[in-house]
Each structure stands twice: as C-alpha cells, then as structure tokens.
Structure 1
Amino acid sequence: MTTPSERTVRIDAGDAPLVGDLSLPADAHGLVSFAHGSGSSRHSPRNRAVAGVLRDAGLGTLLVDLLTQAEERVDMVTAALRFDIPLLGRRMTATVDWLAAQPDTARLPVGLFGASTGAAAALVAAAERPERVRAVVSRGGRPDLAGDALAAVRAPVLFVVGGADHHVLRLNEEAAERLRAPYRIHVVPGATHLFEEPGALEQAAAAARDWFRPMSAIVPWE
C-alpha cells in the first residue's frame, strides 16, 4: 500500500487561521474532513483512529482544529465556543472551500465527519455547500444543534450512535426526522457516548468507511 502524503496546512477561515493535518493516499478517490466535538481537537485519538480506517480504504483525510489555540484556552474554562454552532459551521464551510481551491484536492469529492457538537458544524457546512459535500457521518453527534440547516442538507447522512447512549440516540432520531436528504441510523450495540467499549469504535469506523467509500459515484440528492 502506498504511504499517504501528509502535511500540516493552514486555512484562512476569514475570522481566524485554522491548523489542520492533511493526509492524501496517492490514488485517493475522495476526501473526508473532520469536525471535532466538545473539548476535542485534531489530535483526538478516536477521530485519528477513524481517519486511519478511511485512509486504508483510499480516502484522504483532513483533521482540522475549528478553534484557535487562544480560543481553546477560553473554551476550556467557559465551554461556550464548543457550542457556538454558527461559528463552527462557518469555519467548517471554510475548510470545504479551501479544499476546493487546492490543486491536489479540488478534484476529490468531499465527505464530512462530525463528532459530538462537530456533527452540527458538519451538517451546517453540508447545507451551505450542497454542490461540494457528497456524504456526512455523525458519530455520537449532536445533529439537533444544526437547527434549521437540517432541512437544507442534500448529502446522504449516516448517524452512528451507541446503543447505550440513550439521550443522544433520541436526539439523533429527532434530528433525522427533520432531514429531507436520505439518511440511516446505525446503532452500535452496547456502546456509550465515547465508544470506549471493546470493538465499538472499530464498528463505528467501519460504518463510516462504508458510507463514504462510494461517494465518488454519488450525485448530490435533489
């Protein structure tokens, strides 16, 4: 297997510079950008584990911090910015635009992967860029926080939720009912919110891989 090219990138989001880790297999047939969850970052071991599974399937990955280091320090105290979905959604949209402008990623169909509150940011970006975003996966997400953007999403959405994460499962079911796009709810039996149980994260990653893998042939839903 060809070793992916990897580099740290800086993305101008308009109101802040964002830092991300871009990894591209030589024969990538798509790319997935990650929106991290509450109090997390691009160094999240869970998201990096999922990203590895996607790269093994021939997909590029972009793990990007949607908050600057200064903002993260504030958020560690207030926990406010991690719930600022308009802010996170705008910055996730900026990453989609940045990918469209880069010579080595412009041709690739884009999927978005969001965890916790990052799922809402991913859905907002999917609603803002329906011509670019081909598929969305929410892992243990709070898609309900995307609000009215849910009805504007056109890409197929996969909700991956732990079977023991009862409150979040209900929120996902309610959010799914507001979608007009195709969707599926994938419940990982016995898993809690962080998918820490043996084999739970692997199941979530496999479900995401299978959802994203055919996106190069997906035409955005109309």
Structure 2
Amino acid sequence: MSDVSIPSGGVTLDGILAVPQEPSGVVAFAHGSGSSRFSRRNRDVAAVLQQAGLATLLFDLLTADENDQDIETGLYRFDIPLLARRLTDAIDWLKALPATAAFDVGLFGASTGAGAARQRY
C-alpha cells in the first residue's frame, strides 16, 4: 500500500494505491460527499478486493482545501461534472501506471461518487 498523488486539472488528488503480488484487475473507489480515502467502510471493502487479487485505488475527489470549503459552503459536493472529470483523470493515471496499465478499471461508487462514475460512462 502506498500514498499516491494524482494530477487532475491543475490540482493534485491524494490517494492510497494497493497492488497485490499478481493483480487480476484494478478497482477505483469514488466516494460520496462527506467521505474520504480514509473511510473505514471503503477500506474494509478494498481489503476484501485486495485479498481476491484486485488492486485498489482509494482517493479523494476533492483537495483538502476544497473539502474545507465544501464543508462550509457545499460548493463542490454536487458538482458531478467536476467529480467525473477527476474520476476520469484518476482512471487515466491508473492506465499509465505500469502495475495497473494492463487492466480495465472497475469503479466502486457511492452517493455523489456513484453519480460521477455514472456520468463518466
């Protein structure tokens, strides 16, 4: 498991990438508003997927500053086009990474993260 930084439209998104010894695929998590890459529930699901041989990417769709602003104003949480662009950037980043480039990327989305995943496709 390693901390990663994903470039996206002039900002950097923080994430956690876990790649098992011989992965058979990769899953990117798109969490909902009020959640983060540290969500216990998402980390538990990611652990089960990793045990099944899948690489996982847990990442924040908002920067720390954006998240702070969003808590105060709600400015970003329902901006599905923004979240979808960032999800696309994370997928592109995974597709460029040697450890995960060979795999299609599965998406695990909840709440507004699911909306971003849906808009992505």
Alignment TM-score, normalising by the size of structure 2:
0.96
Q: Does 1:56 align with 2:51?
A: yes
Distance 1:36 1:122 in 2: 10
Letter of the 1:94 counterpart: D
Residue aligned with 1:121, SS: helix
Aligned pairs, how many? 121
Instruction: Assess if the C-alpha contact under 8 Å between 1:33 and 1:113 holds in 2.
Output: yes
Per-residue CA deviation, residues 176-212 of structure 1 (Å, 9 max, x unaligned), is xxxxxxxxxxxxxxxxxxxxxxxxxxxxxxxxxxxxx
| 1:58-207 correspondence runs (5 A) | 58-125=53-120, 127=121
* Paired letter, 1:16: V
Unaligned 5+ runs, structure 2: none
Larger radius of gyration: 1
Report the alpha carbon displacement of residue 47 of structure 1 after superposing the two structures with TM.
Answer: 0.8
Q: Which protein, 1 or 2, shows the higher relative CO under an 8 Å CA cutoff with sep ≥ 6?
A: 2
RMSD over aligned CA atoms reads 0.9
Q: For residues 38 and 106 of structure 1, what CA distance do their matches in structure 2 show?
A: 28
Give the conservation status (yes or no) of the 8 Å contact 1:9–1:20.
yes
Q: How far apart are the structure 1 equivalents of 2:77 and 2:31?
A: 9
**What TM-score results when the alignment is normalised by the length of structure 1?**
0.53
The ranges of structure 1 where at least 4 consecutive aligned residues each deviate by more than 3 angstroms after the TM superposition are: none
